[in-house]
Structure formats: structure tokens, C-alpha cells
Structure 1
Amino acid sequence: MPQRLSLTALLVDEYDTALAFFVGKLGFELREDTALGDGKRWVVVAPRGAAGGLLLARAVGERQRDAIGDQSGGRVFLFLETDDFARDHLAYTQRGVRFVEAPRLEPYGMVAVFEDLYGNRWDLIGPVVTGG
């Protein structure tokens, strides 16, 4: 069987706050929200139609709380591909998602860096649009 990454754990402060951002602002779907006891939950969100997703992991302890929003040392951490860059960039902007760079054209497509509610940096990447 071929291997694939199924989930990426993302440290969050509280589940419901994170859900409000990822589902409410980015339009991800809630794939699973299962209580595990002692206030812990297994919460998975993903872009619609995506094979993998994010496990929203509530930080436990000082070390994990300190890492919220800085799991990658300040560099772009996650890459969100879209089939319509202009549509999603506009929708995210209207929903209050904070873009830290203006969109730019790269050889691989249109890209703009945004931050999630914790400050983790993401690339929104759309395909190269050719005329004709």
C-alpha cells in the first residue's frame, strides 16, 4: 500500500475558537469531533474534498502552549492549494483573514501568505492562469 500523510497536528488554544476560524473563515469542513474524556477531543477539519486534514490539538502544558502559532519558527508552515485563487483570496479577505503579503505570481502559480488566528503562516496557492 502506498504511504500518505493523513493528518497534520496543529496546536490550538481551544477547540471551539479554532473551529470558528477554520470552518467559519476558511470554509473547511468539520470531519470529526469526538469527545475523548477529561475535556479532550479528537477534532479534524479539512478543505472540502481534501484527502488529508488538520487535527486540532489543544495544547497541554507550558511547552505546547508556548508553541501555539510558532510550530515552524515563523516560516510558512502549511500550503493551501485552490482551483480559484481570486475567489478564495477575496472571500478570505472579506471574512477577515489577515494576509501578510500581497498576491504575487510565481512559476508555480499565484501565491499570497496569510496567517491563521494564532499567527501560523500559510501559503494560499492558485494555478497559473494562461490567456487564450
Structure 2
Amino acid sequence: MKTDTFKGVIDVNEKGEAFMYGKNELMYLFKSNPGKRFYYTATTKRSSQQNRFMHKWIGLLADHIGEDFDKMKRDLKVKSGMLWEDHVNEETGECWKELRSTASLSVEENKKFLDWMQRFAAEFYRYELPNPGETQAIKFT
């Protein structure tokens, strides 16, 4: 049996409105296969825009305190406590924790991490990270 695969992106805003990318290709797939049944799988992976935004914030905060980007990112992951993953060696029973990659964050986990990062920057470094669409971070006096 021949299987056609379609991959696209649907972003849903806070109001629940959906915006689809790749709609023309999907409609072509439907029209070229009349009478067929289609199956779909929905995933909640964060967008590249969300990823760029998170990295922009990390860079702004690193610049603000004079820190290296990679060290700042690791420190934020550690301090947030949100990215630890438990591991167990099945043979020995040994347990340990490792930091997850931020690439593994779901949309919701990414939102929680960004919310935490914004609060942390304001409280710990007295630095207000910009909201989406803003261009300049604010230093408290």
C-alpha cells in the first residue's frame, strides 16, 4: 500500500485560533486522493520562533551579567529545576540525573521555562527581559 506523508505546522494562539502553514500542499493531497481516508497525528512541538526567542533572552541576560552564552544557558537550566531527567541503570540500580536539552521542551514546558526565566531575571538580576515584540531589555535602577 502506498503511503503519502504530509508534514506541516499549525500554530494556535492564546485565543485558540489556528494558523496553518503548508495548507496548499495538504489540500492538494486531499484532492488528489478522492474517496480515501486520512489519519493524522498531532504533536505539540514548539516553533523555531519560540526557540529563537528563548535563545535571544538567554543572550540578553548573559550580556547583562557578562557571562558566556553556553554557561548562562546551563545555569538557567540548572537553577530552574525544570530540565532534570532521572535515569536508572537497570543492571546496577544506580540512579542519576541529567539535564535535558531545551530542544526537548514541549510548547507548554517552554512557556513555563520562559515565564520562570523572566521572573528570575527580574528578581535575581534586577533585569526585565523584553516581551515578544519589544526590542530593548529594561534595567532597574
TM-score range (shorter-chain normalised) is under 0.3
Greater helix share, structure number: 2
When Rg is computed on C-alpha atoms for both structures, the one with the higher figure is: 2
Identify the structure with bigger relative contact order (alpha carbons < 8 Å, sequence gap 6+): 1
Greater strand share, structure number: 1
TM-score by length of 1: 0.25
TM-score by length of 2: 0.24
